[in-house]
Amino acid sequence: MKGNLRDFSTTQILNLVSLAKKTGTLSVERKDMRGSLSFKDGKLIFAAVGEADGSLASILARDGRITKEQAAALAKHAQKTGDKQLGLLLIQKGYVTQSDIIQSIKRHSLAAINQIAGWKEGSFFFDASRMPDDGRITVPLDLESIIIQLARVQKLDEQLEEEIPSLDVCLKFVNQPGVQLKDLQLSKDEWRVIKYIKPDNTIRMIANTLNMSDRQIRRVIGSLREAGLVELVRVVRRQPLTPEERENKRNIVDRLIGRLQAS
C-alpha cells in the first residue's frame, strides 16, 4: 500500500489499518521530515517522527522525567541493551515507575500521530513485513478514539481554511473586543502572534516570522477571532483617485441616489 497523503489522508489510512486489523509499519516522508507508525492487529504500537525517534531515552527526556544529559548517556547504554532492558534498569533503580514509562510512551505516540496527521502532502508506504526492533518498548493504543479525535481536528482545520481562505490578508484589533480583557487567557503562541498584529503585516508574514505552519497560524488566528479580539482587514490598497476621478465618481453616486430616492 503506497501513495501520497494529498490523495489519501493519514486519517483515512489509519481507518483502513484499524478496520483491516493490519500489522506492519507505515512510513511517511515529506521534503523536510519523515515519520513511521507501527501497528499490530490494527493497534498503534510504536511511533517515530523527525528527531522524536521513539527511543525510551528521548521520550523520557521530552517528557521531562530525565535531563538531556542523562538521556544522552542512557541512549548509549540502550544501543547495547535495547529499550526494554533500559526500562527495567530505570525502574529497578527507582528513577521511574512502569506506569511513568507507559504514560510517556502513550503521550509520545499520540503527539507523533497528531503531527503526521497534519501533513497534507508526502509519500507513504505501508510495509506489512516491517516491525519495530525487538528491543523497543511497544504500547498498544486503540486507533478508534484517535481517528475520531483526528477527524474532529481535521474538520476544525477545514472550517478554519474556509474562514481564512487566504493568508495574504492583514489583521487588526477590533474596536470593541467580544471578551472581557481582564478575563482573557492566551496561549504562548497567541501572545507571540499578537505582538505582530498590525495592519501592515499579513498573516503569512507573521507565520514566516514566527516559523509557524499554515495550520498553526490559522488555529491561532481562528481562536483570536473566536474570542472577538481581531478581525481580518482588506489587504488590497486602493490607488487614491485623482480629483477629476473623484468628481466623476461623486457625480455617478449622486445620480444613483437621486434615481433610487425618486423611484
Partner 1 sequence: MPTQTVKMVITGPFNSGKTEFVRSISEIDVVSTERKITSEAERDIKEDTTVAMDFGRITVDNDLVLYLFGTPGQRRFDFMWEILAQGMLGFVVLVDSARPETFREAKSILETFRAYAPTPYVVAANKQDMPDAWSIDDLRIALHLDSDVKMLPCVATKRESVKNVLLELLYSILEEIDAQEE
Q: Which stretch binds partner 1 (CB under 8 A): 16-24, 44-52, 130-138, 227-235?
A: 227-235
Residues 20, 73, 148, 252: which binds partner 1 (CB under 8 A)? Answer: 252
133/162 with CB nearer partner 1: 162
Q: Which of residues 109-168 bind partner 1 (CB under 8 A)?
A: 159, 162-166, 168
> Does the footprint of partner 1 cover residue 228 (CB under 8 A)?
yes
Please count the residues of this chain forming the interface with partner 1, following the rule CB under 8 A.
Answer: 38
> Does the footprint of partner 1 cover residue 72 (CB under 8 A)?
no
Q: What is the DSSP string of 141-186?
A: B-HHHHHHHHHHHHHHHHHHHHHS--SS-EEEE-SS-SS-GGG---
Question: Which phi and psi angles does 94 have, rounded to 5°?
Answer: 85, 15
129: how many CB neighbours lie within 10 A of its CB? 7
142/254 with CB nearer partner 1: 254
CA 235 to chain centre: 27
Q: What is the rounded distance in angstroms from the CA atom of residue 101 to the CA atom of residue 93?
A: 14
* Cell numbers that stand for 243 in this block: 480629483
* Cell numbers that stand for 191 in this block: 501572545
Residues 64, 181, 240, 244: which binds partner 1 (CB under 8 A)? Answer: 240
Q: Which of 107, 203, 234, 220 is nearest to 156 (CA)?
A: 220
Helix (H, G, I), strand (E, B) or coil at 232: strand
50/165 with CB nearer partner 1: 165
Q: Which of 234, 218, 224 is nearest to 165 (CA)?
A: 218
99/242 with CB nearer partner 1: 242
Amino acid symbol at 1? M
* Cell numbers that stand for 30 in this block: 515529506
> Does the footprint of partner 1 cover residue 260 (CB under 8 A)?
yes
Shortest CB 151 distance to partner 1, Å: 19
Shortest CB 197 distance to partner 1, Å: 15
> Does the footprint of partner 1 cover residue 231 (CB under 8 A)?
yes
Shortest CB 163 distance to partner 1, Å: 5
Shortest CB 181 distance to partner 1, Å: 15
Q: What is the rounded distance in angstroms from the CA atom of residue 239 to the CA atom of residue 94?
A: 71
In angstroms, the first-to-last Cα distance of the chain is 68
Q: Which of residues 158-197 bind partner 1 (CB under 8 A)?
A: 159, 162-166, 168-169, 174-176, 178
Residue numbers at the binding site for partner 1 (CB under 8 A)? 159, 162-166, 168-169, 174-176, 178, 225, 228, 231-238, 240-241, 246, 249-250, 252-261, 263
